[in-house]
Amino acid sequence: MGESKPGDKLREFAEKLENQGIIINRIPQSTREEFKQFAREEFANDYGFALKYLWDHYKKTKLIFENFDYKLDEALERIDILQNSINNSQSSEEDGGSKNLANEPAVAFGSRKKRTDDERRLSQDE
């Protein structure tokens, strides 16, 4: 067998680490200790599985909040439509006529594009 060079073991370790591990720097000490305790208590010191668990929950939570924001936008849009209908009805009654709200166009829930922050601000200013 050939002799191994001094850097070979280090190179082997680096390749193994690159294929199997991850090094994370700049973690606040308190966060590092909390994560280690979490991994120890919940996953028998398996940092990889603890990270996977946290990442999976992050993705689910992100989806929930994105959907909530969209549904909230939809509800606000429907409230705007109803408020406009009420205002139009009241102005028609003041003019002596009556407006049939049943003739208002129906808006299907979920058919509207997501409102931007600017659109929300504009509708609140009105």
What residue spans define the domains of the chain? 6-125
pTM across the whole model: 0.44
- pLDDT 10s digits, 10-36: 888 777 766 777 788 999 999 999 999
Is residue 114 over pLDDT 60?
no
CA distance 65 to 85: 30
- pLDDT 10s digits, 49-104: 999 999 999 999 988 877 777 788 888 898 989 988 888 888 877 766 544 555 55
Q: How high is the pLDDT of residue 120? A: 61
Q: How high is the pLDDT of residue 74? A: 86
The Cβ of residue 43 has, within 10 Å, a number of other Cβ atoms equal to 15
The helix/strand/coil state of 102 is helix
Residue showing tokens 């909390």: 34
